[in-house]
Amino acid sequence: MSLRIVVTVKYVPDATGDRHFADDLTIDRDDVDGLLSELDEYAVEQALQISENSDDDVEITVLTVGPEDAKDALRKALSMGADKAIHVEDDDLHGTDAIGTSLVLAKAVEKAGYDLVISGMASTDGTMGVVPALLAERLGVPQVTLLSEVSVADGTVKGRRDGDAASEQLEASLPAVVSVTDQSGEARYPSFKGIMAAKKKPVQSWDLSDLGIDEDEVGLENAYTAVESAAERPARTAGTIVKDEGEGGKQLAEFLASQKFI
Amino acid sequence: MAEVLVYVDHVDGAVRKPTLELLTLARRIGEPVAVALGNGAADTAATLAEHGAVKVLTHEAAEYADYLVVPKVDALQAAHEAVSPAAVLFSSSAEGKEIAARLALRIGSGIITDAVDLEAGDEGPVATQSVFAASYTTKSRVSKGTPVITVKPNSAAVEPAPAAGTVEALSVTFSDQATGTKVTGRTPRESTGRPELTEAAIVVSGGRGVNGAENFAIIEALADSLGAAVGASRAAVDAGWYPHTNQVGQTGKSVSPQLYIASGISGAIQHRAGMQTSKTIVAINKDAEAPIFDLVDYGIVGDLFDVVPQLTEEIKSRKG
Ligand SMILES: Cc1cc2nc3c(=O)[nH]c(=O)nc-3n(C[C@H](O)[C@H](O)[C@H](O)COP(=O)(O)OP(=O)(O)OC[C@H]3O[C@@H](n4cnc5c(N)ncnc54)[C@H](O)[C@@H]3O)c2cc1C
Ligand SMILES: Nc1ncnc2c1ncn2[C@@H]1O[C@H](COP(=O)(O)O)[C@@H](O)[C@H]1O
C-alpha cells in the first residue's frame, strides 16, 4: 500500500518584523523577511510522524501557493524531511483571497494526487483558519480539522479536536483533509544532512494554466472581499509605570478603583 | 426591511453571550433571524426574542452532534435559501469560522473573519478588523454574494430589544458529505465556575514568571477577587502549569475584555495578538524593559509574588 500526503505550507512575513500594507492594501512583502509559517511546520511534522509510524510506502509532497521567494518555505519543509515540492506561482495570483487560494490549492492537490492533505491551523499573517475547511468542501472529502493529536491506519484518520465546550474524538475515511494545531507536537529542526539532501529534492513549478484556472477566478481584482482602508492603530498613550517599593499592590488597587473596576 | 441570519451558538438550549452580541450588530443591518440547531434548539427562542430575533429557525437532529461541521453547513445553506438574507453572521469560534467558510463557498459569497465591529454601508455591511497582531485596523466588505461575516466575542454590547421570536421549523436535507467525519467520543470541558475566557469583562493572566502550576493559585485568587477569568501565556501552558483552553494569544483565545491584567508575561507579539484590543491593560513584571509595558495603562515593575497578593488583599478589603 502507498499513502500520498500533501502538506500545504504558506510563506508568510515574519510576525516579529514590522508588518505593513502596500498601496493596494495587500500585505507588503518587501518590508519584512518571509519564512515558512511556523504553524505549518507542525503540519510537516505530523506528516513525517505519520510516515515514520506507517508500514505503508509514504510519499510526502509539500505544496505552496505564493511568490518566487515562497521557494524558501518549500526548502525548509524539504530539509525537515518531505520528499518533493510543488510551487504554484503566477503573477495573476497577487492579492488572491481565501476563497481563491482554496481553489488553487484544490486544483493543485488533485493534480498531484493525494490520500491525505495536512494543513496548519491558520496562517500567521491572515490568521483566518478557514482554508482547510474550504479545501475539504472543494475536494468533497471529509474535514478532520484542528487536531492536537492525529494518527492514520488502515485507510482511516483519527484525531482529537479540543474545542471550546468539549474535547472530541474524530474519525474519517481517506481521502481527507486534516489540519493540526501547535499542540500536536514540536516540529523538528532540519538536520545538516536534511539540509544537504533538500538541495537535490525535486521542486515542480506550476502556473494557473497548468491547473486549468482562469485568471479571472483569482487575484485582487476578483477577490470576494475588498479592503477599503487600513490604518495603523494609534500607539497606546503611554501609561503610568511605577516601581514597586512595597506598596505596588495597593497603588494598583487605587488605579483599578479610579477606573471603577473595584 | 432586509433580514440578517444569525447562527446561534448554544449548549443544549443555553445561548452563549457572543450570539446576543451578534443580535445587536445584526439589528444595525436589518431584522435578525436566528438559526438554532441540535439538541435544545427551540429552548433558545425566548432569550433570542428578548434580544431582537424576529424569527428563530430551528432544527433538531442527531447529525449535529454526531458529525463534524458539515451538517450545520447544510442547515445554514437551507436557511439561506429560505430567507435570502442581507448577511449571515457567526461568532468567531473555531467551528463558527469553519461553518461560515463552507457556507460562503457554497453560496458563492465572500467571507470576512474576526470582525471587531460592523456597520451598515451603501454597498453592504462594513466590517472592522484588527490585523497584524492588532497593529492595524482595516475596514472591509464582501464584494460578491451575500456577506458572510464572523465577529469576535466582546465586539458589541448585549442589548435587550424585544421582538416576536417566532419559532419556525427549518427543513434540512443533509448532503452526502454530512456524515464524512464522525465524532466518536466527546469529553465536555469541566466548568471552573469562573467566567468564560472570551466572554469575561476582566481577564487575569499569568506567564512564565508565575513559575509553577501551584503558583497559579495566586493568579486565581486575584481573578476571583475581581470575578474575572484566568488566562495564561503559551510559555505557562507549554510548561504544563495551566490548561491550553486558557491560553491567550495567536494560537489560543483572543480576548477583548474591559480589563486585562498580565503577571509575569513579557508581551511577545503572539501573545499581544490575543489581548491587544483589551480596553484597559495592566501589567506586573519585574523587568522594566519587558515589551508588555509598551501596551499598559498602568504597570508595576516588581515581583508578582509581592504585588499580586497585596493587590488581591486590597481589593478584598475595599469590597468589604
Ligand atoms: C506560531 C507561534 C504561536 C504562538 N502563540 C502564542 C499564544 O497564543 N500565546 C502566547 O502567549 N504565546 C504564543 N507564542 C509564544 C510567544 O512567542 C512567547 O514565547 C510567549 O508568549 C512567552 O510567554 P511569557 O511571556 O509567559 O514568557 P517569557 O517571555 O519568558 O516572559 C516571562 C516574563 O515574566 C517576567 N517575570 C519572571 N519572574 C517574575 C516575577 N517573579 N515577577 C514578575 N515578573 C516576572 C520576566 O521578566 C518576563 O518578562 C507563540 C509563538 C509562536 C512561534
Ligand atoms: N498560499 C498558501 N499556500 C499553501 N498553503 C496555504 C496557503 N494559504 C493557506 N494555506 C494553508 O491553509 C492553512 C490555514 O490558512 P488560513 O485559512 O489562511 O489561516 C495554512 O496553515 C496552510 O496550511
Cell numbers at B224, concatenated: 476571583
- Nearby residues of B320 by Cβ (< 8 Å), 6 or more positions away: none
Residue B136 bridge partners (DSSP): A232, B131
Range B8-30 average pLDDT = 97
Q: Is A192 on the interface with B (CB under 8 A)?
A: no
In the block, which residue shows the cell 451603501? B122
Tell me which residue of A201, A73, A233 sits closest to B130, measured CA to CA: A233
Q: What is the pLDDT of residue B54?
A: 98
Mean pLDDT rounded to a whole number for chain B: 96
User: Using CB atoms, which residue from B131, B140, B244 is nearest to A228?
Assistant: B140
Where along chain A do its domains lie? 2-222
Give the distance, in angstroms, between the CA of residue B227 and the centroid of all CA atoms in the same chain: 18
Q: In 3D, which of B32, B260, B285, B41 has the Cα closest to residue B161?
A: B32
Of the listed ranges A162-166, B108-112, B141-145, B223-227, the one predicted with least confidence: A162-166
- Supply A112's cell numbers: 498531484
CA distance A93 to A11: 14
For each of chain A's 262 residues, which pLDDT tens digit applies?
799 999 999 999 888 888 888 888 887 777 788 999 999 999 999 999 999 999 889 999 999 999 999 999 999 999 999 999 999 999 999 989 999 999 999 999 999 999 999 999 999 887 899 999 999 999 999 999 999 999 999 999 999 999 888 999 999 999 999 999 999 999 999 999 999 999 999 999 999 999 999 999 999 989 999 999 999 888 778 899 999 999 999 999 999 999 999 9
Mean pLDDT to the nearest integer, B92-112: 97
The residue among B176, B225, B256, B300 with the most chain A CBs within 10 A of its CB, best to mutate, is B300
Chain B contact for A170 (CB, 8 A cutoff): yes
Which grid cell is A211?
491547473
Find the mean pLDDT for residues B215-234: 98
Measured distance CA(A57)–CA(A252) in Å, rounded: 61
B266 CA distance to ligand 1 centroid (A)? 5
Nearest residue CA, atom 21 of ligand 2? A120
Amino acid at B139: K
Q: Which residues of A touch B145 (CB under 8 A)?
A: 224
Ligand nearest to the CA of B97: 2
Report the pLDDT value the prediction gives residue A84, as an integer from 0 to 100.
98
How far, in Å, from the CA of A62 to the mean position of ligand 2? 12
Q: What average pLDDT score do residues B50-67 get? A: 98
Cα three-residue angle B148-B154-B157, rounded to 5 degrees: 95
Confidence band of B138 (pLDDT split at 50, 70, 90): very high
CA angle A160, A161, A163 (to 5 degrees): 145
Q: Is B262 in the pocket of ligand 1 (CB under 6 A)?
A: no
Q: Do A144 and B130 touch (CB under 8 A)?
A: no
Instruction: Report which ligand 2 atom has the smallest distance to the Cα of A118.
Output: 23
**Residue whose CA is closest, atom 8 of ligand 2?**
A10
What b-and-e string marks burial along B52-87, b requiring 16 or more CB atoms within 10 Å of the CB?
bbbbbbbbebebbeebbbbbbbbbbbbbbebbebbb
What superfamily does domain A2-222 belong to in CATH? HUPs (3.40.50.620)
Q: Is A122 in the pocket of ligand 1 (CB under 6 A)?
A: no
Out of B91-95, B134-138, B257-261, which region has the weakest mean confidence (pLDDT)?
A: B134-138
Q: Is A99's C-beta closer than 6 angstroms to any atom of ligand 2?
A: no
Could you tell me which of B144, B159, B148 has the C-alpha nearest to residue B114?
Answer: B148
**Integer Cα distance of A72 and A79 in angstroms:** 11
Distance from residue B251's CA to the centre of ligand 2 (Å): 15
Q: How crowded is residue B107: how many other Cβ atoms within 10 Å of its Cβ?
A: 15
- Which residues in chain A are closer than 8 Å to B245, comparing Cβ atoms? 162, 164
Q: Which of A41, A137, A259 to mutate to test the interface with B (most CBs of B within 10 A)?
A: A137
Among the partner-chain residues B180, B258, B307, the one whose CB lies closest to the CB of A172 is B180
Instruction: Kindly give the distance from the C-alpha atom of residue B16 to the centroid of ligand 1, in angstroms, as a whole number.
Output: 30
Q: If you average pLDDT over residues B153-177, what whole number do you get?
A: 97
A97 Cβ closer than 6 Å to some ligand 2 atom: no
The response to whether residue A122 sits with its C-beta less than 6 Å from ligand 2 reads yes
B318 contact residues in A (CB cutoff 8 A): 253, 257, 262
DSSP conformation class of A107: H
Return the pLDDT at A20.
81
Instruction: Give me the residue label for grid cell 510506502.
Output: A57
Give the nearest chain B residue to A120 (CA atoms). Answer: B251
Partner residues linked to A170 by β-bridges: A159, B183
For A250, nearest residue in chain B (alpha carbons): B311
- Interval between CA B132 and ligand 2 midpoint (Å): 16
User: Does residue B136 surpass a pLDDT of 90?
Assistant: no
Nearest Cα residue to B128 out of B111, B115, B141: B115
Residue A175's contacts (CB-CB under 8 Å, 6 or more residues apart) are: A114, A115, A116, A117, A139, A141
Nearest in space to B44 (alpha carbons), one of B75, B88, B8: B8
Dihedral sign of CA atoms A179, B189, B241, B296 in order: positive
DSSP string, B219-262: HHHHHHHHT-EEEE-HHHHHTTSS-GGGBBSTTSB----SEEEE
Atom number, ligand 2, closest to the C-alpha of residue A123 = 19
Within 8 A by CB and 6+ apart from A3, the residues are A50, A51, A54, A56, A57, A58, A59, A115, A116, A152, A174
